[in-house]
Amino acid sequence: KYQEPENIPPLTEVKIKRLKFIREMDDKSDSDGLECLDFKGDPAVLYLADGSIPLQGYSFGADHSISGEVVFNTGMVGYPEALTDPSYRGQILVLTYPLVGNYGVPDESILDDLGLPAYFESSSIHISALVVSSYSWEHSHWAAQKTLSKWLKASNVPAIYGVDTRELTKNLREHGSILGRLVINPDLSEQVTPAMFDDPNQRNLVKEVSTSSVVVYGKGNSPKIIAYDCGMKYNIIRYFVQTHNVELHVVPFDYDLEKNPENIQWQGLFISNGPGDPTMCPQTVKSIQYALAMENPRPIFGICLGNQLLAMASGAKTFKLKYGNRGMNQPCIDLRTGRCYITPQNHGFAVDSDTLSEGWKPLFMNANDLTNEGIVHTNKPFFSVQFHPEACGGPLDTAFLFKKFIGHVENIPQPLVLQDGRAYTRKTYKKVLLVGSGGLSIGQAGEFDYSGSQCIKALKEEGIEVILINPNIATVQTSQEAKEANRGADRVYFLPIRPSVVMDIIRKENPDGIIVSMGGQTALNVGVELWKTGQLQAAGVEVLGTQIPVIEATEDREIFSAKLKEIDETIALSYSATNVQEALESANKIGYPVLVRAAFALGGLGSGFAANDTEMEALAAKAFASSDQILIDQDLRGWKELEYEVVRDSSDNCITVCNMENFDPLGIHTGDSIVVAPSQTLTNREYFMLRRTALKVVRHLGIVGECNIQYALNPESEKYCIIEVNARLSRSSALASKATGFPLAYVATKLSLGKDLVSIRNSVTKTTTACFEPSLDYCVLKMPRWDLRKFQHVSNELGSSMLSVGEVMAIGRTFEEVIQKACRMVNPALAGLDGEDSNLIEDNVDLEAQMKTATDTRLFAVQTALEKGWTVDAVHEATKIDRWFLTKLKNIAQMRHAVKKCGNLQDLTRTNGIERMRSLKLAGFSDKQIARYLGLPNDLSSECRVRDKRKSLGIIPCVKQIDTLAAEFPAQTNYLYMTYAGQEDDLDFSSERAAITPSYRSSVNKFSDSLDSQSEFQRRARRYGSAPKTIQEAKERGVMVLGCGAYCIGSSVEFDWCAVSCVRQLRKDGFKSIIINYNPETVSTDYDESDQLFFEELSLERVLDIYERQAPYGVVVSVGGQIPNNLSGPLAECGATILGTSATDIERAEDRRQFSDMLDNLGLKQPAWSVLTSKDEAHSFAEKVGFPVLVRPSFVLSGAAMRVAADETQLRNFLDLAADVAADKPVVVTKFIVNAKEIEFDAVAYNGQILNYAIGEHLENAGVHSGDATVILPAQKLYVNTIRQVKKSASAIAKSLR
């Protein structure tokens, strides 16, 4: 953040030096081997006429400067279509989605049946220049013929990347469209003057893009339509001629219709889209007025600019919008029916509805800004719309308007379109039974606590009494607090989720409705059985949301296949079987290999791939153990796997909330695959082809609420097939909710009550409708977490049956950034995505074999291969992972190699240091990672040394918001992430930064590259902020709460309950609450649970980044499990205030040696123990006290590597395992007492004084981990003296630890 020197307009002094420096570097011929850390392209600057600081970046287009009107587009795909859209004539286009160029540019020479370029909307690029955040120099797509950069250069169109496009979009949002000038290799002495900027709106842009002569398409067809070309997109021509068999006469914008010099015999008039101000087209308006005045009126239809021209011809007025509507997700309400459609738009002017003449009415209205989106004559066949029914790019939801127009032309009576009246007949409910998911299991985890909690919240908002059945005590949804009656269920039944039990509750409670779609497969199966047996109908209980017959249609493969055939869609070749013989026959019909799956099964239970009859028999027997029907599917491994989350209401409004692409090819359960949102390698055609199919399938099935549809897409064509539809909330639903900010479970609940999407508000913006499709200006990556190493003799191969126990979600603005973030999130022991340095690759197994077999470590095998010099093509051949993803991993490998080659921090930053350090951070490298590559010691001081150097260079991450609409509308929630791909924070932290001690802030620039002594480091580690002077100041500064991270064995939903309980209490007490977590399955990552949610890493670096921004009162580390607990020491050492038990005392409890010493000092009994420095010493100790002995590592979760050794061989093996897990922490060996009773004492203490406690008794003898033991509470078989001793010991420990 640099201040603008008054005497050096328009660039800051620092930026001027930087530009000069880069130019000098470009002229140098020698190389230091670090070129991969330098940004490609010439320096470029985007000047804005509003006087704001020029935006600096790098060129990837033509080498010349140009002016234009700066506008933005929020579409996530379709850049070839957008760039060739004539409506963008004269405009500098800002694409809000940060990753551009991924799928290259198709061949311009490929023509369709009409002789038009098949993949483009005109014959040339019409934008003046392109502005993006991150450009992908490598592309991957079967249809690509060249890179976007080559296309732009060949078309003489300049382009800039490296710009904070989100900040620029916010500027345009607040101040309206701004004139700009993009300068490549700028003259630094140039002054910003009005003469620099040309206003394209002063030109007749329509004249520039309109045809100069009449062109006829579809000659001989009928009817005959005149189309005024004001900048008409080619897809309009395709729709008229190819879809509706029209003879289309395309005429210039100034063609005199009254004189009709070409003597065209026409039956209908069409007015196209186009650029600029409609007042520039008086000739077109005059011809339209002639058509309107004809005695026998002929049908007229206008699109976009055509809507404005028709309105002007009828006597209405237009006005310039603040910044226009430019994107693919604008919700428009049909004022005849109330239905809402998702539409693509590109316009800067709108019709003023208040000026419409008599006989004219608004036809469509924008559901967000309420502007006019169409007009219609009340008794003549004239109508127009502001959006693009033909799309391209974008959805084709309103393409029916072409059919309506042609119907008018052919005198076909149009059906009467009316509202369905559902809003007036919606049933009301007083009491609803919600069926939970029960105990957590693989495939059914914390995501259903999140969806259930959202469901309860939505029901309570409607004043409905909520009854919950869920025996899982560790969930947020089963918590009841009298003061939070508006958030929790009214009554909770901790009972088994079985049909008979559910019916008992129904008979007792008499609910009006039941929801079975929020509790996973467990709840769904119960609902299906109760419906099939007629018990729900007999009790008068209505199933809310998607109905049971629809659910059965999606779960039963034969019914599902038949349903899809009714709408000409197909699934992969598939048969069902009810016995092994039928299964064998089906497999042979399809041909091996085949996929075997159990019907009505959770997480792909009982599924796998069979290559022959023998494997088929074994798999079928396994699948029949969990289901009475199995499914045999065609093997499509190697195809891309994609998902769409779809929402539909009872009024047939239907939207796709999120699309996701699997990093791994088809063949791995999506719960075990790395998933990226939005898709990275789909073109506009593919994206909307699959979206169109999703809406068609969901409508045909009759789903109400949320569902998930999965596809297989051929990587070499547009051929696809449907894998399955999940007519319920799933783990993907939780991911999609957190990835987009769209609360799927909450909205689905509202829809199940009969509400429509239009009436529900977007809970992020608070002002726009929920009937919209989110636009992302960031990239999200989900990575699964496995704990397969906890089990012996268990294969780590991944397939169609889910094995992961949790997942993480990383958010960023480059792919490299999010995948490195995700690696650190999944495994805190990792500093980033490393291959050879990860210690996860087996040296004795062939590397190619490790890549070919999908396992929980294959990603690291792939990275190892790229680090060793394997080509992207070779790795692709072995894995079938898309080349685009592999090129990004190759970038990481090359940058790692460059830093390692550099050798020290001083050499890394000596030349072009700012850019190189920023390049590393943009690619997701952590300070710890960089320190290790440079050969620095693996300790806190080395990480801090890199951190200090980075900050001295002015490289700090930005805080960005997730707002669902890519900054098009202001966000009202603080749902945040951090990234280096930006220049400005979305929030103002100036008041928080003022609380940071000046001596710390100013000392950053003074540190040398070396730390001479520990005392110097200690002097640096002073507190970031002074203690608050008043309780009110403490409340305003707030408290940071560290969440649980990924679910794993030993750390699950119970820690989410802890964090949520903590945050809710803080807010009750008036404290600003800030939570950091990255688990998409949790309630704590619901953005309205806290005042600020940082969806970020729980690493020391990132927690300190946030701490510096916020300067909070302190940090709570005790409610998130082992990960936050392990951070307490480093955080305290770096100057953070730890609330609750001090970091020193936490270490005394976690460190086995210190803890045992403390017990000895307190005189408390404990088994004989010793800290061993060698295996021989351990054996001597075991011989002395006698086997069995207990091996106990420090700072580990859920007893990781804790083992009871019965002999010397076991002891040596267990010590090796403990040493790996505990790293540099002490490993203690103690005498194991056989046949002992195990007792648990849970307490709350303040300043060492116990305030409350509970004592639990294990049913099993000591030796079974408490997480695996059966615990009875209160204790049943403890003597009074035993209880007294336990309380006495606990009091002494609490007092010692304080």
Pick the closest to residue 752 from 507, 1008, 551, 607 (CA basis): 551
- Could you give the 3-state DSSP secondary structure of residue 668? coil
Residue reference for tokens 């382009």 = 159
List of residues 6+ apart from 838 with CB closer than 8 A: 830, 860, 863, 864
Task: Decide: 1004 and 1104 in contact? Cβ < 8 Å.
Answer: no
Residues in the chain: 1298
Which secondary structure element, helix H or strand E, spans residue 1174, and what is its range? none
Maximum distance among all Cα pairs of the chain, rounded to whole angstroms: 113
* Cα-based angle 607, 577, 620 (whole degrees, multiple of 5): 40
Which secondary structure element, helix H or strand E, spans residue 1039, and what is its range? strand 1039-1042
The DSSP letter of residue 241 is: I
**In the β-sheet with 1271-1272, what is the strand arrangement from edge to edge?**
1237-1246, 1249-1261, 1271-1272
- Could you give the 3-state DSSP secondary structure of residue 723? strand
Residue reference for tokens 């976009």 = 304
* Cα-based angle 1109, 813, 798 (whole degrees, multiple of 5): 110
Dihedrals phi, psi of 891, to nearest 5 degrees: -60, -45
- Give the whole-angstrom CA distance, residue 7 versus residue 4: 9
Cβ neighbours, 10 Å, residue 163: 24
For residue 1238, give Cα distances in angstroms to 1241, 1259, 1264, 1271: 10, 8, 9, 10
Strand pairing partners for 1204? 1190
Which residues are designated catalytic?
304, 388, 390
Strand pairing partners for 958? 979
Cα 206 off chain centre by: 39
Task: Decide: 823 and 860 in contact? Cβ < 8 Å.
Answer: no
- Give the whole-angstrom CA distance, residue 1060 versus residue 869: 47
Pick the closest to residue 813 from 60, 174, 165 (CA basis): 165
Cα 658 off chain centre by: 8
- Give the whole-angstrom CA distance, residue 235 versus residue 249: 15
The token pair at 867 is: 């680090």
b/e burial code for range 334-366 (CB count within 10 A of at least 16 → b): bbeebbbbbbbbbbbbbbebebbeeebebbbbb
- Could you give the 3-state DSSP secondary structure of residue 166? helix
Task: Decide: 679 and 776 in contact? Cβ < 8 Å.
Answer: no
- Give the whole-angstrom CA distance, residue 872 versus residue 35: 20
Pick the closest to residue 782 from 669, 698, 864 (CA basis): 669
- Give the whole-angstrom CA distance, residue 1195 versus residue 536: 51
- Give the whole-angstrom CA distance, residue 923 versus residue 929: 12
DSSP β-ladder status, 159-161 and 129-131? parallel
- Give the whole-angstrom CA distance, residue 1061 versus residue 484: 11
Pick the closest to residue 641 from 672, 619, 599, 608 (CA basis): 672
Task: Decide: 1092 and 1077 in contact? Cβ < 8 Å.
Answer: no
CA-based R_g, the chain, Å: 33
